[in-house]
Amino acid sequence: VSEQFLVRSYRGDYRVRIDQDESPESVFQGKIRFHVIIDSKVAEIYRDQLKKTLENDSVLIIQANEGNKTLQNCVNYVAKLLEKRIKRGNRILSIGGGVIQDISCFVSSILMRGIEWNYYPTTLLAQADSCIGSKSSINFGGIKNIVGGYYPPTEVVINPMFLKTLEEAEIRSGLGEILKICALEGESEFEKIAASYKALTASGPLLQRFILLSLNLKKSYIEADEFDTGQRNLLNYGHSFGHAIESSSGFAIPHGVAVSMGMDMANWVSARLGFEKGRVFDKCHATLFENYKMSKDVAICPEKFLSGIGSDKKNSEQGLGVIIPVGGWKFEKKWLKPDKAFQCACTEYLEGLKK
Ligand SMILES: NC(=O)c1ccc[n+]([C@@H]2O[C@H](COP(=O)([O-])OP(=O)(O)OC[C@H]3O[C@@H](n4cnc5c(N)ncnc54)[C@H](O)[C@@H]3O)[C@@H](O)[C@H]2O)c1
Ligand SMILES: [Zn+2]
């Protein structure tokens, strides 16, 4: 299977390909000098398939965790690349999930005012969602994703081989983002993935179809609004609630799993506050629950949740900026006051999880 498309960006078009056969090593055939940035776990699991990559004369192996995605650590990565005499015209070859993507994107954007980078996403979340959209998100001073910019790769190659070794939680995390984009697309798109949900496995061609669908749906948002000032905001559906769920659980719930719980909660709160009659909640709940049920018993402190959602970077003077269904399967950004009614709806939802 080989499928490809172009994404339009302020830096020019970039190509995205799904290709079972293409190894990251194929880039070494040209004249360009590459500097590899790779996830340590991927380097270990795929050491045979990536032999040539790991023998390259410049390889930066990084453990994928939030602590390694800080601005301070990016200084070290820049230093290491300069030690390897990185020059304008060289390229970064990035292999890993969202953490490695954020580091590679950010470092590529600041080195010599920007060098090209090729990306091989290795998690489902990165393959189906984060690999397009240009954003880099770097942590600073204990605040997640507070530094960054927009700097798309030159090329993205999606090799489904990588998905076979992911833990179940990582698969569910990627599925959370796929469920989100399908829900935003409309009721019938959501019904399709709901009907296929149980049959989705890391090695199946069905998952590949949904990866491609997810990217194609996301493409229209980012092409229309790359810098996230309007329509792209809708991709934050499930995210304000989801980020507060992540932080109040002490990051025990993977991002995309928290997003699926956050969508469920957004649908619930919307119905409770009378924006919608509860139809979206009823239609989506069973599938969303399937996706986050492995984390439903993780303790989420309601006070921490409410303070977390209150400090979301998308809030303004007008209130909490959340994406919710507003009737007729339509999603909109609404500014909600964190008043008693809102707090009750959230607490009620969180207590319902324990049943
Ligand atoms: N910039 C963006 O647009 C954007 C969007 C979404 C998320 N993110 C960021 O991405 C990060 C999350 O990324 P993620 O969910 O892709 O996971 P990740 O990069 O944190 O990796 C998750 C785990 O899977 C392992 N792993 C990676 N590939 C593997 C493979 N093929 N087989 C086995 N294990 C593998 C990693 O070593 C790690 O232990 C967060 O920091 C988040 O903020 C960024
Ligand atoms: Zn997300």
What is the overall mean pLDDT for the chain? 95
Q: pLDDT digit string (tens) for 122-167?
A: 999 999 999 999 999 999 998 889 999 999 999 999 999 999 999 9
Comparing CA positions, the residue from 272, 306, 201, 185 lying closest to residue 235 is 185
Mean pLDDT of 259-271: 98
Q: What's the CA-to-centroid distance between 3 and ligand 2, angstroms?
A: 24
Contact 318/258 with Cβ under 8 angstroms? no
Q: pLDDT digit string (tens) for 80-134?
A: 999 999 999 999 999 999 999 999 999 999 999 999 999 999 999 999 999 999 9
Contact 127/96 with Cβ under 8 angstroms? no
Distance of CA 206 to CAs 198, 202, 250, 330, Å?
Answer: 11, 9, 33, 27
Residues having CB within 6 Å of any atom of ligand 1: 39, 41-42, 45, 64, 66, 69, 96-100, 102, 122-123, 125-126, 130, 133, 135-137, 145, 162, 165-166, 170, 173, 255
Closest ligand to 150 CA?
1
pLDDT at 142: 87
Instruction: Indicate if the pLDDT at residue 222 is higher than 90.
Output: yes
pLDDT at 103: 98
Q: What's the CA-to-centroid distance between 145 and ligand 1, angstroms?
A: 14
pLDDT at 112: 96
Mean pLDDT of 267-296: 97
Q: What's the CA-to-centroid distance between 164 and ligand 1, angstroms?
A: 15
Q: What's the CA-to-centroid distance between 37 and ligand 1, angstroms?
A: 14
Instruction: Indicate if the pLDDT at residue 2 is higher than 70.
Output: no
Mean pLDDT of 277-282: 96
Residue 328 pLDDT class (50, 70, 90 cuts): confident
pLDDT at 355: 78
Q: Which residues contact 304 (CB under 8 A, 6 or more apart)?
A: 247, 248
Mean pLDDT of 53-77: 97
Contact 342/274 with Cβ under 8 angstroms? no
Mean pLDDT of 55-61: 98
pLDDT at 295: 95
Which of 44, 117, 123, 156 has the most ligand 1 atoms within 8 A of CB, as the residue to mutate?
Answer: 123
Residue 329 pLDDT class (50, 70, 90 cuts): very high
Long-range contacts of 50-58 (CB under 8 A, 24+ apart): 50/23, 50/24, 50/25, 50/95, 52/25, 52/28, 53/23, 53/24, 53/25, 53/28, 53/93, 53/95, 56/28, 56/93, 57/84, 58/34, 58/84, 58/86
Residue 311 pLDDT class (50, 70, 90 cuts): confident
Instruction: Indicate if the pLDDT at residue 322 is higher than 50.
Output: yes
Instruction: Indicate if the pLDDT at residue 1 is higher than 80.
Output: no
